[in-house]
Amino acid sequence: MVRKAPGSRTRRSESRKLSQETCPSAFQTPALRVRGPVVRQSIQSMKLLPGLLRQPAGVFLLLLRSSIDSSSTPPRRMPVMAALALVLLSSCARSTGSAGGKQFTDEIGRQLTLAAPPRRIVSLAPSITETLFALGLKERIVGVTSFCDYPPDAARVERVGDTLRPSTEKIVALKADLVVISTSSQLEPFVKRLDDLGVPVYVSNPRDLEGVLRSIEKIGEVTGAADRAREVIGEMRERVEEIASRVEGRGQPPVLILLGVQPLITAGGGSFLSDLVKRAGGRSISDDIASDYPQFSLETALARRPEVIFLQAGESKLPDRLNDTPAARSGSVFHLNDDLLLRPGPRIVDGLEEMAKKIHPGFD
C-alpha cells in the first residue's frame, strides 16, 4: 500500500492534465505519468531527445512526456515567421545586442543584453513562474505556459503554449522583453528564433539544490530583483541547514525512487533527485549509476533492499515483486507531491522536508 503525503495527487484526471508538463520538468512539472511503452520508446529515441537523461528530474519528465505528443505538431510556416520578423524590426530596442545595455550570462553560458530591467516577462516553465512570483514580479509577468498552476495568480496570466511548444507569435504579440526557460536542450531552434527576432532569452539550468539557489539569484539579477532574490535564498538556505541538522546522525537508510515501473526508471547518482535523497538523510540505492535516470532491473532493486521507496511522477502502484522489499514490508512506500519534489524552484525545500520526514519517521 502506498502512503501519500498531504497534497499528493494520484487521480486519473489530474494525471492526465499533468502528463504534458509540470515543472518539469524538469526540470517540470505536476505529476507526470510515465508508463511502460511510452518510457521505452522515449529512451530508445535518443535522436529525438538529445540530452534527455542529463536533465534535472522535473525537466526530464517534462521532456519525456511532452516530446511524445510533439511529433504531430505541424511545422511553422515561413510566412508567419516573416510577419513576426517585420513586427520585431519595428521594436529593435529589445534586441539582445542593444548598444549601451547591461550584459548577463545565463546558466548555460549564453550572453544576453538588456537595455533596462525587463517589464514584460514570459516564463516557459512552472518552476520559473514560481520563482518570478516569489521575487515579487507578479505585475511584470505577461505570459506563462499552460502548465504553470502555482501560485493561484498564475492562472490569470496569458498562456503562450506549453513548455516544449511555445507560441512565438503570442510571445511577440505580448511584446516580451525577456523570456525565461528552464532548459535549452529541446528548445534550441526556438531560442534561436527568438534571438533572431531580438527577444532576449535567459536559460535556467539548475543541476541540484545548490544550483536552484544560484538560479534564483541569477534570475533576480537579470530581472532587477536582486535584493528580493537574496531574501528568498536566505530563507531557503536557512531551512535546508535546519533539515541537515535534524537528520544528522540518524543513519542513511537505502532509498529507491521510482519514476516509472514498466520498465523501472530511477534516479542515478548525478541526478537532481539523488542530491535531494542525500540531503534528506537517505542513501539512494542507484547512487553508483553514472547516468541520471537509468533503467533499473527488479532483481537489482530487490538485491539492494531499499528500506524506503518513493513512487513519483504519477506512479501509484508498486510492482508486485517489490512487495518483498524491506520498504514494502514495513509500510515505507510513499508518494510525495510531485509539484514540490520535481520543480526546481522556491518550493523545492518543501519537497526536501517532506522527503526527510518519510525517510526518518521521528523527524518531526
Q: Are residues 269 and 199 in the same domain?
A: no
Question: Looking at the domain assignment, is residue 27 inside a domain?
Answer: yes
Domain that holds residue 178: 91-226
Question: Looking at the domain assignment, is residue 216 inside a domain?
Answer: yes
State how far the Cα of 279 lies from the Cα of 348, in Å rounded to an integer: 12
Angle formed at CA 281 by CA 277 and CA 285, multiple of 5 degrees: 50
Q: Contact at 8 Å (CB) between 172 and 200?
A: no
| Residue that is written with C-alpha cell 516577462 in the block | 121
- Rg, the chain, Cα only: 20
Q: Are residues 95 and 221 in the same domain?
A: yes
- Look at residue 334 in the predicted model and tell me its pLDDT: 96
- In Å, how far are 6, 88, 161, 171, 271 from 274, measured between CA atoms? 22, 43, 31, 35, 5
| Residue that is written with C-alpha cell 536533465 in the block | 55
| Grid cell of 221 as nine digits | 539579477
pLDDT < 50 regions, the chain: 8-60, 64-99, 184-185
- Look at residue 250 in the predicted model and tell me its pLDDT: 92
Which domain-ending residue is among 17, 35, 68? 68
Phi, psi (deg, nearest 5) at residue 202: -110, 130
Which domain-ending residue is among 31, 53, 68? 68
**To the nearest 10°, the Cα dihedral for 224, 226, 228, 230?**
170
Strand-by-strand arrangement of the 333-335 sheet: 3-4, 333-335, 308-311, 254-258, 283-284
Question: Looking at the domain assignment, is residue 51 inside a domain?
Answer: yes
- Look at residue 2 in the predicted model and tell me its pLDDT: 64
Question: Looking at the domain assignment, is residue 239 inside a domain?
Answer: no
| Residue that is written with C-alpha cell 527576432 in the block | 197
Q: Are residues 96 and 218 in the same domain?
A: yes
Q: Are residues 99 and 36 in the same domain?
A: no
- Look at residue 141 in the predicted model and tell me its pLDDT: 98
- Look at residue 137 in the predicted model and tell me its pLDDT: 98
Question: Looking at the domain assignment, is residue 311 inside a domain?
Answer: yes
Question: Exposure of 51 by Cβ count < 10 A (0-12 exposed, 13-18 middle, 19+ buried)?
Answer: middle
State how far the Cα of 143 lies from the Cα of 179, in Å rounded to an integer: 9
- Look at residue 272 in the predicted model and tell me its pLDDT: 87
Q: Are residues 62 and 95 in the same domain?
A: no
Q: What is the DSSP string of 205-243?
A: ---SHHHHHHHHHHHHHHHT-HHHHHHHHHHHHHHHHHH
- Look at residue 134 in the predicted model and tell me its pLDDT: 98
For the chain, the domain total comes to: 3
Question: Looking at the domain assignment, is residue 236 inside a domain?
Answer: no
Q: Contact at 8 Å (CB) between 277 and 309?
A: no
